[in-house]
Amino acid sequence: MKTKHEKIRLAVKEVLFWLLSLIVIVPFLIVIFNAFKTKPEAINMQLTLPEVWHFENFKQVWDQGSILNSLVNSLIISITSVVVTVVASAMCAYVISRNRTKENRFIYLYFAMGLMVPVSMVSIVKVLRVIHLYNTLLGSILVFVALILPLSVFLYYGFITGIPKELDEAAVIDGAGALRIFTQVVFPLLKPATVTVIMINFLNVWNDFQIPLYTLPDPDKAVIVQKVYNFYGTYTASWNLVSVTILFAILPILIVYIFGQRYIISGMVAGSVKG
């Protein structure tokens, strides 16, 4: 039986967590409600139900904002960046974790530095111009891979360190090579870390506004988060249409989070353990 003091403390924690959740819930509800309002109704972005639910706002944004094209661009950039990062970071972390040489230790520290060094968009744009990948989806993908690779290596490294080396040795006795050991023995055990890497990187790439802004000046190559500014300007703002665009932008990441949320905690905890 819980004591009176424990019950009070539990109730206080519950109230506190509900208040903290309102920080996320209230803005989300404001966006949903304003997406169905008229422009005059939505101008103040208030948490009120619309007088009349205007579903035609979604059709207007879809037709005028080139939403489908921007969604395709975002999916190409996000999915390709994540797939390349998962493969490269998992292999890199496996080699670094299993071979504790000075060179590999330096490579690990080099990736760790990537978590702290700030990004210079001027340098990135100049490099992309030199290699003729400026204003291309491939150029943006390479930039994203370079930025999200360090954290992915860090997470995989911690997880692989917890996998016994005896599994590798048993596979070697059975005649398996290095690639087969990784793909058939080690990588299937990395499911929690892999889902965590996929979720975190997909969310970061999908929501990033700065890199596409500088590397993809062509409007036809714009990503979905940039489409918010189609209905927002210096002298006017259609907040109802802006809210609709935001809903279009967050729908894919909500789906990704719903399907992968149970793995993210275990993956993050494992990735934070150093070998």
DSSP 119: P
- Is residue 10 located within the same domain as residue 145? no
Residue 257 lies in a domain: yes
State residue 274's pLDDT score: 44
Residue 82's domain spans which residues? 67-271
| Three-state secondary-structure class, residue 162 | coil
State residue 130's pLDDT score: 94
Residues 6+ apart with CB under 8 A from 212: 77, 140, 221, 222, 223, 225, 226
Residue 141 lies in a domain: yes
- Is residue 196 located within the same domain as residue 79? yes
- Is residue 107 located within the same domain as residue 186? yes
- Is residue 107 located within the same domain as residue 33? no
State residue 41's pLDDT score: 86
State residue 272's pLDDT score: 47
Residue 261 lies in a domain: yes
State residue 226's pLDDT score: 87
- Is residue 182 located within the same domain as residue 260? yes
- Is residue 107 located within the same domain as residue 141? yes
Q: What is the 3-state secondary structure (H, E, C) of 50-117?
A: CCCCCCHHHHHHHHHCCHHHHHHHHHHHHHHHHHHHHHHHHHHHHHHHHCCCHHHHHHHHHHHHCCCC
- Is residue 45 located within the same domain as residue 89? no
- Is residue 253 located within the same domain as residue 131? yes
Residue 61 lies in a domain: no
Q: What is the CATH number of the domain that holds 96?
A: 1.10.3720.10
Domain count, the chain: 2
Residue 151 lies in a domain: yes
| Mean pLDDT, the chain cut into blocks of 10 residues (275 residues total) | 74 84 86 90 85 89 86 94 94 87 84 81 92 93 93 88 81 80 85 86 90 90 86 74 89 77 58 46
Closest CA to 223 of 252, 196, 198, 194: 252
Residue 169 lies in a domain: yes
- Is residue 91 located within the same domain as residue 203? yes
State residue 181's pLDDT score: 83
State residue 138's pLDDT score: 94
- Is residue 50 located within the same domain as residue 85? no
- Is residue 11 located within the same domain as residue 80? no
Residue 62 lies in a domain: no
Residue 183 lies in a domain: yes
- Is residue 32 located within the same domain as residue 131? no
